[in-house]
């Protein structure tokens, strides 16, 4: 197949995404409006023979301080056939185009999964003192073609980025936790939860916890819970304006792209979460909870409701997003994997992010600049 690459309109890009079973929420055209501090461009790959669009990518450009050169970033993209035997013919024109646009370095995140681990394997790993990381456990599923993709990228001169290390903006998680929903009944999904999860869901029901959907006007209440969480978990919260922009941008593109949930007890909101939907892929995106009312298990009730809603939408996967690969109980991120493993899903490892230095000197300068921040 001979390919040509060119800039496309947002409408063309969206139509292509809508024709697919799923794609990352960071590769929909509206994500460019969420990341308003970056310049953006929509790229399309076309089959020269038929003129049909066969791939798309959202590129975000971040300007270097003081000079007109850019880092070009395709978060969790581009959306192309990563297993194509002629992968060079997809990526070479992209690099040439981005160089023309003034990019000194390109960062992308191939949406390719290498390994999966079932919850039972992870639980056994946690109990084994010799196991420190997810990688120490034998995977339940390995995708051999993913290793071929990695080899091809290395041969082309791409460099594998640091695992979840700090990068420009947000480095995407290499390890995620997913609950597969395709060809399963809700009863099966529920049965796969661990005992603690099932008990907590029941406890919340008994206590009268109700889970409701909110709208744009409820984002201030979301922010209140989110900022409580930030103080408790020692991270820097995003401002309210970010979530307002996210809501407006994503739901203007598709009225069902982003949802907001609250779990409340006696009319008091105890926890909240945002959910993102692209085709059959549904993500639990941000979560927040108060320091009070935790004994009513609002977070378990909310996740169970979101999972059921995802199922009702016909989702094939409910994605709980990032986890750390550390299985060390003293690690501050261990609680996160423990909570997610309780859903009985699977941990998945992506190929991670890859960099292509178009200008080695500027790429190196950026690395030094970022490491000092």
211 with 230, same domain: the answer is: yes
Report the alpha-carbon distance of residue 217 to residue 342 in Å, rounded. 32
Residue 362: pLDDT band with limits 50, 70, 90: confident
Helix (H) or strand (E) holding 347: strand 346-350
- Do the domain assignments include residue 157? no
Both tokens of 74, joined, read 């395709």
How many DSSP H helices and E strands does the chain contain?
12, 16
From the number of C-beta atoms within 10 Å of its C-beta (0-12, 13-18, 19+), residue 131 rates as: middle
Could you list the residue range(s) of the whole structural domain that residue 77 is in? 3-109+353-371
Helices (H), 20-85: 31-34
CATH label of the domain that carries residue 266: 3.40.630.30
Q: Are 46 and 16 in contact (CB under 8 A)?
A: no
pLDDT of residue 346: 97
367 with 316, same domain: the answer is: no
DSSP type of residue 27? G
The Cα-based distances of 53 to 76, 83, 214, 307 in angstroms read 19, 17, 37, 33
97 with 201, same domain: the answer is: no
Q: For the chain, give percent helix, strand, coil, nearest 5.
A: 40, 30, 35
pLDDT tens across 105-159, in order?
A: 999 999 999 999 999 999 999 999 999 999 999 999 999 999 999 999 999 999 9
pLDDT tens across 314-341, in order?
A: 999 999 999 999 999 999 889 899 999 9
32 with 119, same domain: the answer is: no
Per-residue pLDDT at 169 exceeds 70: no
315 with 166, same domain: the answer is: yes
Rg, Å, the chain Cα set:
21
pLDDT of residue 213: 98
178 with 294, same domain: the answer is: yes
Instruction: Give one DSSP letter per residue of 197-237, joined into a string.
Output: HHHHHHHHHHHT-EEEEE-GGGHHHHHHHHHHHHHHHT-PP
Number of domains in the chain: 2
The Cα-based distances of 317 to 6, 64, 181, 192 in angstroms read 32, 37, 5, 15
- Do the domain assignments include residue 81? yes
pLDDT of residue 366: 76
Report the alpha-carbon distance of residue 26 to residue 32 in Å, rounded. 8
CA-closest candidate to residue 254, choices 67, 72, 18: 18
132 with 201, same domain: the answer is: yes
Residue 163: pLDDT band with limits 50, 70, 90: low
- Do the domain assignments include residue 284? yes
């Amino acid at each position: 197949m001979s390919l040509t690459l060119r800039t496309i309109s947002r409408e063309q890009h969206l139509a292509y995404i809508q024709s697919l079973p799923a794609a990352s929420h960071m590769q929909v055209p509206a994500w460019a409006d969420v990341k308003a501090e970056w310049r953006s461009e929509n790229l399309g790959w076309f089959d020269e023979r038929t003129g049909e669009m066969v791939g798309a990518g959202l590129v975000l450009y971040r300007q270097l301080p003081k000079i007109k050169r850019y880092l070009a970033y395709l978060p969790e993209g581009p959306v192309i056939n990563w297993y194509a035997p002629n992968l060079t013919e997809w990526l070479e024109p992209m690099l040439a185009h981005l160089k023309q646009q003034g990019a000194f370095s390109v960062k992308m995140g191939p949406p390719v999964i290498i390994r999966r681990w079932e919850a039972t394997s992870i639980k056994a790993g946690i109990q084994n003192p010799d196991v420190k990381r997810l990688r120490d456990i034998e995977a339940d599923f390995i995708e051999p073609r993913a290793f071929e993709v990695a080899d091809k990228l290395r041969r082309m001169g791409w460099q594998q980025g640091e695992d979840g290390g700090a990068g420009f903006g947000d480095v995407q998680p290499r390890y995620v936790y997913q609950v597969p929903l395709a060809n399963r009944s809700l009863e099966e999904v529920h049965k796969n939860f661990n005992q603690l999860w099932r008990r907590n869901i029941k406890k919340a029901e008994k206590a009268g916890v109700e889970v409701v959907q909110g709208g744009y006007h409820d984002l201030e209440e979301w922010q209140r819970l989110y900022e409580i969480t930030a103080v408790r978990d020692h991270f820097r919260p995003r401002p309210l304006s970010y979530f307002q922009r996210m809501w407006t941008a994503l739901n203007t593109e598709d009225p069902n792209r982003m949802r907001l949930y609250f779990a409340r007890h006696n009319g008091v909101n105890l926890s909240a979460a945002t959910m993102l939907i692209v085709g059959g892929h549904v993500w639990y995106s941000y979560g927040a909870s108060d320091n009070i009312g935790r004994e009513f298990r609002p977070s378990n009730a909310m996740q169970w409701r979101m999972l059921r809603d995802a199922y009702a939408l016909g989702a094939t996967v409910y994605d709980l997003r990032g986890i750390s690969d550390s299985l060390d109980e003293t690690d501050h991120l261990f609680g996160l994997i423990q909570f997610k493993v309780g859903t009985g899903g699977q941990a998945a490892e992506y190929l991670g992010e890859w960099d292509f230095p178009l200008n080695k000197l500027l790429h190196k300068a950026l690395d030094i600049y970022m490491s000092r921040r």
